[in-house]
Chains A and B, each alone.
With several copies, the nearest count.
Chain A
Amino acid sequence: MTEQEKRIRIARRIALELRDGHFVNLGIGLPTLVANYVPEGIEVVLQSENGMLGVGPYPLEGEEDADLINAGKETVSELPGTSYFDSASSFAMIRGGHIEMAVMGGMEVAENGDLANWIVPGKIIKGMGGAMDLVATARQLYIAMEHTTRAGKPKILHRCNLPLTGVGVVDTIVTEMGFFRVTPQGIVIEEIARDFTPEQVQAATEAMLIVSPQLRPMPGT
Protein backbone atom coordinates (compact mmCIF):
# COMPACT_ATOMS: atom_id res chain seq x y z
CA MET A 1 0.00 0.00 0.00
CA THR A 2 1.18 3.49 -0.71
CA GLU A 3 1.21 5.98 2.09
CA GLN A 4 -1.67 7.81 0.44
CA GLU A 5 -3.73 4.61 0.23
CA LYS A 6 -3.18 4.02 3.91
CA ARG A 7 -4.22 7.54 4.78
CA ILE A 8 -7.39 7.34 2.72
CA ARG A 9 -8.33 3.99 4.25
CA ILE A 10 -7.88 5.38 7.76
CA ALA A 11 -9.80 8.59 7.02
CA ARG A 12 -12.69 6.70 5.40
CA ARG A 13 -13.01 4.37 8.37
CA ILE A 14 -13.06 7.20 10.88
CA ALA A 15 -15.64 9.04 8.80
CA LEU A 16 -18.02 6.13 9.42
CA GLU A 17 -17.98 7.06 13.12
CA LEU A 18 -19.54 10.45 12.44
CA ARG A 19 -23.18 11.00 13.37
CA ASP A 20 -25.60 13.68 12.25
CA GLY A 21 -25.19 16.82 14.33
CA HIS A 22 -21.77 15.87 15.70
CA PHE A 23 -19.35 18.65 16.51
CA VAL A 24 -15.89 17.43 15.60
CA ASN A 25 -12.33 18.74 15.70
CA LEU A 26 -10.00 17.32 13.07
CA GLY A 27 -6.28 17.72 13.66
CA ILE A 28 -3.75 18.83 11.10
CA GLY A 29 -2.63 16.37 8.40
CA LEU A 30 -4.24 12.94 8.05
CA PRO A 31 -7.22 13.76 10.32
CA THR A 32 -8.19 16.62 8.00
CA LEU A 33 -8.85 14.04 5.27
CA VAL A 34 -11.78 12.65 7.29
CA ALA A 35 -13.83 15.64 6.14
CA ASN A 36 -13.69 14.31 2.57
CA TYR A 37 -15.56 11.12 3.49
CA VAL A 38 -18.50 12.28 5.59
CA PRO A 39 -21.29 9.80 4.78
CA GLU A 40 -24.18 11.01 2.63
CA GLY A 41 -27.16 12.48 4.44
CA ILE A 42 -25.45 13.44 7.67
CA GLU A 43 -24.37 16.88 8.71
CA VAL A 44 -21.23 17.21 10.78
CA VAL A 45 -19.94 20.54 12.10
CA LEU A 46 -16.19 20.96 12.20
CA GLN A 47 -14.54 23.06 14.87
CA SER A 48 -11.22 24.72 14.28
CA GLU A 49 -9.48 25.79 17.47
CA ASN A 50 -8.38 29.12 16.03
CA GLY A 51 -11.98 30.24 16.52
CA MET A 52 -14.44 28.78 14.01
CA LEU A 53 -17.37 26.41 14.17
CA GLY A 54 -18.65 25.20 10.81
CA VAL A 55 -15.48 24.92 8.74
CA GLY A 56 -16.26 24.65 5.04
CA PRO A 57 -14.20 23.15 2.20
CA TYR A 58 -11.12 24.79 0.71
CA PRO A 59 -12.19 27.90 -1.19
CA LEU A 60 -12.48 28.04 -4.96
CA GLU A 61 -9.39 29.39 -6.67
CA GLY A 62 -9.46 33.17 -6.37
CA GLU A 63 -11.79 33.12 -3.37
CA GLU A 64 -9.11 32.64 -0.72
CA ASP A 65 -9.46 35.01 2.20
CA ALA A 66 -6.44 35.67 4.42
CA ASP A 67 -8.81 36.29 7.35
CA LEU A 68 -10.31 32.83 7.00
CA ILE A 69 -8.01 29.94 7.86
CA ASN A 70 -8.15 26.71 9.82
CA ALA A 71 -5.83 25.68 12.66
CA GLY A 72 -3.43 24.27 10.07
CA LYS A 73 -3.21 27.80 8.61
CA GLU A 74 -4.85 26.60 5.39
CA THR A 75 -7.39 28.81 3.65
CA VAL A 76 -10.92 27.47 4.13
CA SER A 77 -14.46 28.66 3.43
CA GLU A 78 -17.52 29.32 5.55
CA LEU A 79 -20.91 27.61 5.51
CA PRO A 80 -24.43 28.77 6.29
CA GLY A 81 -24.40 28.42 10.10
CA THR A 82 -20.70 29.13 10.63
CA SER A 83 -19.76 31.16 13.70
CA TYR A 84 -16.51 32.81 14.80
CA PHE A 85 -15.18 33.41 18.31
CA ASP A 86 -11.92 34.24 20.06
CA SER A 87 -9.29 31.71 21.13
CA ALA A 88 -10.21 31.75 24.83
CA SER A 89 -13.83 31.01 23.90
CA SER A 90 -12.65 28.31 21.50
CA PHE A 91 -10.70 26.48 24.17
CA ALA A 92 -13.49 27.02 26.69
CA MET A 93 -15.59 25.08 24.19
CA ILE A 94 -12.93 22.37 23.90
CA ARG A 95 -12.00 22.18 27.60
CA GLY A 96 -15.66 22.21 28.59
CA GLY A 97 -16.17 18.87 26.85
CA HIS A 98 -18.50 20.16 24.14
CA ILE A 99 -16.57 18.55 21.27
CA GLU A 100 -18.05 15.10 20.69
CA MET A 101 -15.08 13.77 18.81
CA ALA A 102 -11.51 14.83 18.15
CA VAL A 103 -9.35 13.11 15.58
CA MET A 104 -5.62 13.51 15.85
CA GLY A 105 -2.46 12.02 14.46
CA GLY A 106 -0.19 9.98 16.71
CA MET A 107 3.47 9.10 17.01
CA GLU A 108 3.03 6.66 19.89
CA VAL A 109 0.03 5.27 21.75
CA ALA A 110 0.45 3.15 24.87
CA GLU A 111 -1.84 0.34 25.97
CA ASN A 112 -3.12 2.53 28.84
CA GLY A 113 -4.22 5.24 26.40
CA ASP A 114 -1.22 7.52 26.81
CA LEU A 115 -0.48 9.53 23.69
CA ALA A 116 2.72 11.11 22.39
CA ASN A 117 2.39 13.22 19.29
CA TRP A 118 3.95 16.62 19.81
CA ILE A 119 7.73 16.23 19.92
CA VAL A 120 9.42 14.74 16.88
CA PRO A 121 12.57 12.91 18.05
CA GLY A 122 15.76 14.69 17.09
CA LYS A 123 14.00 17.82 15.90
CA ILE A 124 13.66 21.09 17.73
CA ILE A 125 10.52 21.39 19.84
CA LYS A 126 7.93 23.39 17.93
CA GLY A 127 5.24 23.44 20.57
CA MET A 128 2.08 21.54 21.37
CA GLY A 129 -0.38 24.08 19.97
CA GLY A 130 -3.87 23.04 21.02
CA ALA A 131 -3.15 19.30 21.17
CA MET A 132 -2.88 18.95 24.95
CA ASP A 133 -6.21 20.71 25.52
CA LEU A 134 -7.94 18.69 22.83
CA VAL A 135 -6.72 15.27 23.97
CA ALA A 136 -7.50 16.02 27.61
CA THR A 137 -11.10 16.99 27.04
CA ALA A 138 -12.66 15.66 23.83
CA ARG A 139 -15.46 13.26 24.68
CA GLN A 140 -14.04 10.70 22.24
CA LEU A 141 -10.44 10.88 21.06
CA TYR A 142 -9.62 9.02 17.86
CA ILE A 143 -6.01 8.58 16.81
CA ALA A 144 -5.56 8.32 13.06
CA MET A 145 -2.09 7.01 12.22
CA GLU A 146 -0.14 4.55 10.19
CA HIS A 147 0.39 1.39 12.13
CA THR A 148 4.20 1.58 12.16
CA THR A 149 6.90 4.17 11.64
CA ARG A 150 8.55 4.59 8.26
CA ALA A 151 11.29 2.37 9.62
CA GLY A 152 8.65 -0.29 10.33
CA LYS A 153 8.74 0.06 14.12
CA PRO A 154 5.53 -0.34 16.13
CA LYS A 155 3.73 2.81 17.30
CA ILE A 156 1.25 1.02 19.56
CA LEU A 157 3.42 0.30 22.57
CA HIS A 158 3.47 -0.92 26.16
CA ARG A 159 4.62 2.52 27.24
CA CYS A 160 5.31 5.66 25.27
CA ASN A 161 8.96 6.63 24.94
CA LEU A 162 8.44 10.15 23.61
CA PRO A 163 7.25 13.03 25.79
CA LEU A 164 3.51 12.67 26.36
CA THR A 165 0.72 14.83 25.00
CA GLY A 166 -1.79 13.33 27.41
CA VAL A 167 -2.14 10.57 29.96
CA GLY A 168 -4.77 7.88 29.40
CA VAL A 169 -6.59 9.99 26.85
CA VAL A 170 -6.96 7.79 23.75
CA ASP A 171 -10.29 6.04 23.20
CA THR A 172 -9.85 4.63 19.70
CA ILE A 173 -6.99 4.02 17.25
CA VAL A 174 -7.50 3.56 13.54
CA THR A 175 -4.61 2.41 11.34
CA GLU A 176 -4.40 0.78 7.93
CA MET A 177 -4.41 -2.55 9.74
CA GLY A 178 -7.48 -2.18 11.89
CA PHE A 179 -9.74 -0.46 14.35
CA PHE A 180 -8.71 -0.62 18.02
CA ARG A 181 -10.36 0.38 21.30
CA VAL A 182 -8.38 1.29 24.38
CA THR A 183 -10.06 -0.47 27.32
CA PRO A 184 -9.13 -0.89 30.98
CA GLN A 185 -8.00 -4.40 30.06
CA GLY A 186 -5.78 -3.25 27.23
CA ILE A 187 -6.07 -2.61 23.52
CA VAL A 188 -8.82 -4.57 21.79
CA ILE A 189 -8.73 -5.08 18.03
CA GLU A 190 -12.37 -4.86 16.92
CA GLU A 191 -11.90 -4.71 13.17
CA ILE A 192 -9.12 -6.03 10.98
CA ALA A 193 -8.30 -4.97 7.44
CA ARG A 194 -8.96 -7.82 4.98
CA ASP A 195 -5.38 -7.74 3.75
CA PHE A 196 -3.89 -8.54 7.16
CA THR A 197 -4.10 -11.46 9.58
CA PRO A 198 -4.31 -11.02 13.36
CA GLU A 199 -0.80 -12.43 13.57
CA GLN A 200 0.53 -9.82 11.18
CA VAL A 201 -1.14 -7.04 13.14
CA GLN A 202 0.27 -8.32 16.43
CA ALA A 203 3.72 -8.61 14.90
CA ALA A 204 3.55 -4.91 13.99
CA THR A 205 2.36 -3.97 17.50
CA GLU A 206 4.38 -3.90 20.69
CA ALA A 207 1.38 -3.86 23.03
CA MET A 208 -0.34 -7.21 23.47
CA LEU A 209 -3.59 -7.02 21.50
CA ILE A 210 -6.82 -8.50 22.78
CA VAL A 211 -8.76 -9.93 19.85
CA SER A 212 -12.43 -9.08 20.16
CA PRO A 213 -14.73 -12.11 20.13
CA GLN A 214 -16.71 -10.10 17.57
CA LEU A 215 -13.70 -9.32 15.40
CA ARG A 216 -15.02 -7.99 12.07
CA PRO A 217 -13.44 -7.05 8.77
CA MET A 218 -12.70 -3.33 8.62
CA PRO A 219 -15.18 -1.60 6.28
CA GLY A 220 -13.53 -0.22 3.18
CA THR A 221 -10.93 -2.98 3.02
Chain B
Amino acid sequence: MDKTVASAAAAVADIPNGATVMIGGFGLCGNPENLITALFELGRRNLTIISNNAGTDHEGIGVMLAAGQIKKMISTYVGENAIFEEKARSGELETELLPQGTFAERIRAAGAGIPAFFTPAGVGTVVAEGKETREFDGRVYLMERWLKADFALVKAFRGDRWGNLTYRKTARNFNPVMATAAHVTIAEVEELLPPGGLDADSIVTPAIYVHRIVLGAGYRKPIERRTVRKG
Protein backbone atom coordinates (compact mmCIF):
# COMPACT_ATOMS: atom_id res chain seq x y z
CA MET B 1 0.00 0.00 0.00
CA ASP B 2 1.64 3.19 -1.20
CA LYS B 3 -0.48 6.32 -1.59
CA THR B 4 2.38 8.48 -2.78
CA VAL B 5 1.70 10.54 -5.90
CA ALA B 6 4.67 11.92 -7.79
CA SER B 7 3.56 15.53 -8.05
CA ALA B 8 0.94 17.94 -6.80
CA ALA B 9 -0.22 18.35 -10.40
CA ALA B 10 -0.84 14.62 -10.73
CA ALA B 11 -2.57 14.52 -7.35
CA VAL B 12 -5.21 17.12 -8.28
CA ALA B 13 -5.58 16.30 -11.99
CA ASP B 14 -8.99 14.64 -11.64
CA ILE B 15 -10.65 17.49 -9.76
CA PRO B 16 -13.34 18.55 -12.24
CA ASN B 17 -14.96 21.89 -12.99
CA GLY B 18 -17.71 22.55 -10.48
CA ALA B 19 -16.15 20.43 -7.74
CA THR B 20 -16.55 21.21 -4.03
CA VAL B 21 -13.09 21.41 -2.49
CA MET B 22 -12.07 21.85 1.14
CA ILE B 23 -8.75 23.58 1.65
CA GLY B 24 -6.99 23.50 5.02
CA GLY B 25 -5.28 26.41 6.69
CA PHE B 26 -6.01 29.34 8.97
CA GLY B 27 -5.18 32.48 7.05
CA LEU B 28 -1.96 31.58 5.26
CA CYS B 29 -0.81 29.29 8.08
CA GLY B 30 -0.91 25.57 7.31
CA ASN B 31 -1.95 26.07 3.68
CA PRO B 32 -1.41 23.25 1.20
CA GLU B 33 0.69 25.57 -0.96
CA ASN B 34 1.72 23.04 -3.58
CA LEU B 35 -1.80 21.69 -4.03
CA ILE B 36 -3.37 25.16 -4.23
CA THR B 37 -0.85 26.15 -6.91
CA ALA B 38 -1.52 22.92 -8.79
CA LEU B 39 -5.28 23.47 -8.65
CA PHE B 40 -4.80 27.06 -9.83
CA GLU B 41 -2.60 25.93 -12.71
CA LEU B 42 -5.07 23.21 -13.63
CA GLY B 43 -7.45 26.07 -14.41
CA ARG B 44 -10.67 24.43 -13.26
CA ARG B 45 -13.64 26.77 -12.85
CA ASN B 46 -16.92 27.04 -10.99
CA LEU B 47 -15.32 25.62 -7.88
CA THR B 48 -16.99 25.75 -4.49
CA ILE B 49 -14.23 26.28 -1.95
CA ILE B 50 -14.74 25.45 1.72
CA SER B 51 -11.94 27.13 3.62
CA ASN B 52 -11.80 29.20 6.79
CA ASN B 53 -10.40 32.21 4.94
CA ALA B 54 -9.93 33.31 1.34
CA GLY B 55 -6.19 33.91 1.33
CA THR B 56 -4.86 37.38 0.58
CA ASP B 57 -4.82 39.23 -2.74
CA HIS B 58 -1.62 37.56 -3.83
CA GLU B 59 -1.40 34.44 -1.72
CA GLY B 60 -3.19 31.16 -1.23
CA ILE B 61 -6.80 30.85 -2.32
CA GLY B 62 -6.75 34.54 -3.24
CA VAL B 63 -4.89 33.63 -6.43
CA MET B 64 -7.71 31.34 -7.56
CA LEU B 65 -10.25 34.00 -6.63
CA ALA B 66 -8.45 36.57 -8.73
CA ALA B 67 -8.41 34.18 -11.67
CA GLY B 68 -12.19 33.78 -11.46
CA GLN B 69 -12.05 30.04 -10.76
CA ILE B 70 -14.25 30.17 -7.69
CA LYS B 71 -18.02 30.31 -7.87
CA LYS B 72 -18.73 30.10 -4.17
CA MET B 73 -16.78 30.39 -0.93
CA ILE B 74 -17.91 28.89 2.37
CA SER B 75 -15.78 30.54 5.06
CA THR B 76 -15.81 32.19 8.46
CA TYR B 77 -13.69 35.29 7.90
CA VAL B 78 -12.52 36.83 4.67
CA GLY B 79 -11.19 40.17 5.86
CA GLU B 80 -7.74 39.97 4.34
CA ASN B 81 -8.70 40.06 0.70
CA ALA B 82 -9.69 43.09 -1.39
CA ILE B 83 -10.36 40.98 -4.49
CA PHE B 84 -12.81 38.96 -2.45
CA GLU B 85 -14.65 42.14 -1.45
CA GLU B 86 -14.87 43.31 -5.02
CA LYS B 87 -16.16 40.02 -6.39
CA ALA B 88 -18.61 39.53 -3.54
CA ARG B 89 -19.93 43.07 -3.98
CA SER B 90 -20.41 42.61 -7.71
CA GLY B 91 -22.25 39.34 -7.16
CA GLU B 92 -19.71 37.41 -9.22
CA LEU B 93 -18.81 35.42 -6.12
CA GLU B 94 -21.36 33.68 -3.94
CA THR B 95 -20.42 33.65 -0.27
CA GLU B 96 -21.61 31.81 2.82
CA LEU B 97 -20.21 32.92 6.14
CA LEU B 98 -20.47 30.69 9.20
CA PRO B 99 -19.43 30.87 12.83
CA GLN B 100 -16.03 29.22 12.98
CA GLY B 101 -17.01 26.58 15.52
CA THR B 102 -20.10 25.68 13.52
CA PHE B 103 -17.97 25.53 10.37
CA ALA B 104 -15.46 23.21 12.06
CA GLU B 105 -18.12 21.02 13.65
CA ARG B 106 -20.15 20.66 10.45
CA ILE B 107 -17.02 19.36 8.77
CA ARG B 108 -16.25 17.07 11.70
CA ALA B 109 -19.86 15.79 11.59
CA ALA B 110 -19.48 14.93 7.89
CA GLY B 111 -16.40 12.86 8.66
CA ALA B 112 -18.04 11.27 11.68
CA GLY B 113 -21.31 10.22 10.04
CA ILE B 114 -23.48 12.67 11.97
CA PRO B 115 -25.99 14.30 9.63
CA ALA B 116 -27.05 17.02 12.07
CA PHE B 117 -26.30 18.38 15.52
CA PHE B 118 -27.29 21.27 17.77
CA THR B 119 -25.14 24.24 18.73
CA PRO B 120 -25.76 27.42 20.74
CA ALA B 121 -23.59 29.54 18.40
CA GLY B 122 -25.54 32.04 16.33
CA VAL B 123 -28.91 31.73 18.07
CA GLY B 124 -30.82 34.98 17.57
CA THR B 125 -28.47 36.22 14.85
CA VAL B 126 -28.61 36.25 11.05
CA VAL B 127 -26.92 32.85 11.14
CA ALA B 128 -30.13 31.40 12.56
CA GLU B 129 -32.28 32.57 9.67
CA GLY B 130 -34.08 29.64 8.09
CA LYS B 131 -32.62 27.18 10.57
CA GLU B 132 -34.51 25.00 12.99
CA THR B 133 -34.16 25.94 16.64
CA ARG B 134 -34.85 23.71 19.58
CA GLU B 135 -34.69 23.94 23.33
CA PHE B 136 -32.71 21.48 25.44
CA ASP B 137 -32.50 21.82 29.21
CA GLY B 138 -33.92 25.34 29.00
CA ARG B 139 -31.51 26.71 26.40
CA VAL B 140 -32.14 27.35 22.72
CA TYR B 141 -29.90 25.75 20.09
CA LEU B 142 -29.66 25.78 16.30
CA MET B 143 -29.67 22.62 14.25
CA GLU B 144 -26.75 22.47 11.84
CA ARG B 145 -26.10 19.93 9.07
CA TRP B 146 -22.92 18.14 8.08
CA LEU B 147 -20.72 19.76 5.44
CA LYS B 148 -19.02 17.44 2.94
CA ALA B 149 -16.75 17.93 -0.03
CA ASP B 150 -15.68 16.05 -3.12
CA PHE B 151 -12.00 16.71 -2.43
CA ALA B 152 -9.99 17.93 0.54
CA LEU B 153 -6.55 19.47 0.09
CA VAL B 154 -4.65 19.37 3.35
CA LYS B 155 -1.18 20.26 4.55
CA ALA B 156 0.62 18.19 7.17
CA PHE B 157 4.14 18.37 8.52
CA ARG B 158 5.13 14.73 8.20
CA GLY B 159 3.42 11.80 6.57
CA ASP B 160 4.08 8.20 5.67
CA ARG B 161 3.25 6.20 2.55
CA TRP B 162 0.17 4.68 4.18
CA GLY B 163 -1.21 8.21 4.60
CA ASN B 164 -0.67 8.76 8.31
CA LEU B 165 -0.11 12.44 9.13
CA THR B 166 1.27 14.65 11.89
CA TYR B 167 1.15 18.44 12.06
CA ARG B 168 3.36 21.21 13.38
CA LYS B 169 2.13 23.83 15.88
CA THR B 170 -0.83 25.96 14.76
CA ALA B 171 -0.41 24.86 11.15
CA ARG B 172 -2.66 21.97 12.21
CA ASN B 173 -5.90 24.03 12.36
CA PHE B 174 -8.57 22.78 9.90
CA ASN B 175 -6.37 20.23 8.14
CA PRO B 176 -7.14 17.13 10.24
CA VAL B 177 -10.89 17.67 10.30
CA MET B 178 -11.13 18.39 6.57
CA ALA B 179 -9.11 15.25 5.91
CA THR B 180 -12.07 13.23 7.26
CA ALA B 181 -14.87 14.93 5.35
CA ALA B 182 -14.16 14.57 1.64
CA HIS B 183 -14.69 11.82 -0.85
CA VAL B 184 -11.00 12.09 -1.82
CA THR B 185 -8.42 13.53 0.56
CA ILE B 186 -5.10 14.69 -0.86
CA ALA B 187 -2.34 15.55 1.60
CA GLU B 188 0.94 17.33 1.05
CA VAL B 189 3.75 17.01 3.58
CA GLU B 190 7.14 18.53 4.26
CA GLU B 191 8.64 15.13 5.02
CA LEU B 192 7.55 11.78 3.63
CA LEU B 193 8.56 8.72 5.65
CA PRO B 194 8.14 4.98 5.33
CA PRO B 195 5.36 3.43 7.48
CA GLY B 196 6.64 3.21 11.02
CA GLY B 197 8.52 6.50 10.68
CA LEU B 198 5.91 8.32 12.75
CA ASP B 199 5.29 7.63 16.43
CA ALA B 200 2.08 5.56 16.53
CA ASP B 201 0.81 7.38 19.65
CA SER B 202 1.35 10.80 18.06
CA ILE B 203 -0.30 10.33 14.66
CA VAL B 204 -3.08 12.88 14.32
CA THR B 205 -4.66 11.77 11.04
CA PRO B 206 -4.79 7.98 10.70
CA ALA B 207 -4.06 6.60 7.23
CA ILE B 208 -7.67 5.63 6.56
CA TYR B 209 -8.57 9.25 5.84
CA VAL B 210 -5.88 9.99 3.26
CA HIS B 211 -6.15 8.79 -0.32
CA ARG B 212 -3.12 10.47 -1.92
CA ILE B 213 0.03 11.91 -0.44
CA VAL B 214 2.53 14.25 -2.09
CA LEU B 215 5.90 15.46 -0.90
CA GLY B 216 5.66 19.25 -1.08
CA ALA B 217 8.51 21.52 -2.09
CA GLY B 218 9.52 25.17 -1.97
CA TYR B 219 7.36 26.18 0.98
CA ARG B 220 7.09 29.96 1.19
CA LYS B 221 4.99 30.17 4.37
CA PRO B 222 4.19 33.86 4.22
CA ILE B 223 3.50 35.56 7.56
CA GLU B 224 0.47 37.85 7.61
CA ARG B 225 1.27 39.80 10.79
CA ARG B 226 4.87 39.68 11.83
CA THR B 227 4.82 40.68 15.51
CA VAL B 228 7.97 40.55 17.65
CA ARG B 229 9.13 41.70 21.06
CA LYS B 230 12.35 43.31 22.15
CA GLY B 231 14.96 40.85 23.47
- Whole-angstrom distance between the Cβ of A124 and the nearest chain B Cβ: 5
Across the interface, A80 reaches (CB within 8 A) one of B78, B168, B196, B201, namely B196
Contact with A along B162-194 (1 / 0, CB 8 A): 101001111111111100100000000000001
Determine whether the beta carbon of A68 is less than 8 Å from that of B169.
Answer: yes
**Residues of B contacting A73 with CB < 8 Å?**
26-29, 80, 224-225
Kindly state whether residue A167 has any CB partner on chain B within 8 Å: yes
- Whole-angstrom distance between the Cβ of B143 and the nearest chain A Cβ: 15
Determine whether the beta carbon of B168 is less than 8 Å from that of A133.
Answer: no
Kindly state whether residue B18 has any CB partner on chain A within 8 Å: no
**Residues of B contacting A81 with CB < 8 Å?**
160, 162, 164, 195-196, 207
- Whole-angstrom distance between the Cβ of B103 and the nearest chain A Cβ: 8
The chain A residue with its CB closest to the CB of B228 is A61
Q: Say whether chain A's binding surface is mostly helix, strand, loop, or mixed.
A: loop
**Residues of B contacting A95 with CB < 8 Å?**
101, 105, 112-114, 119-121
**Residues of A contacting B196 with CB < 8 Å?**
79-81
**A-B contacts, 14 listed (Cβ < 8 Å):** A49-B101, A61-B229, A63-B228, A68-B169, A78-B169, A86-B104, A86-B175, A87-B52, A94-B113, A129-B77, A132-B122, A133-B100, A166-B123, A167-B123
Interface residue count for B (Cβ, 8 Å)?
Answer: 81
**Residues of B contacting A80 with CB < 8 Å?**
194-197
Determine whether the beta carbon of A47 is less than 8 Å from that of B26.
Answer: no
Known: A75-B223, A83-B198. 7 other contacts (CB 8 A): A51-B172, A64-B228, A69-B224, A84-B200, A84-B203, A96-B112, A127-B97
Determine whether the beta carbon of B228 is less than 8 Å from that of A45.
Answer: no
In the docked arrangement, what's the CA distance between A163 and B170, Å?
31
Determine whether the beta carbon of A50 is less than 8 Å from that of B105.
Answer: no
**Residues of B contacting A45 with CB < 8 Å?**
1, 162, 207-208
Across the interface, B107 reaches (CB within 8 A) one of A23, A88, A94, A131, namely A88
In the docked arrangement, what's the CA distance between A95 and B110, Å?
10
Contacts from A to B (Cβ < 8 Å)? 20-21, 23, 43, 45, 47-54, 57-76, 78-88, 90-99, 114, 124-133, 136-137, 163-168
Contacts from B to A (Cβ < 8 Å)? 1, 3, 26-30, 52, 75-80, 85, 88-89, 97-102, 104-105, 107-108, 110-114, 119-127, 157, 160, 162, 164, 167-177, 180, 194-198, 200-201, 203-204, 206-209, 221-231
Top 4 nearest A-B pairs (CB, nearest first) are A80-B196, A91-B101, A81-B195, A133-B101
A124 in contact with B89 given A69-B27, A132-B122 (CB within 8 Å): yes
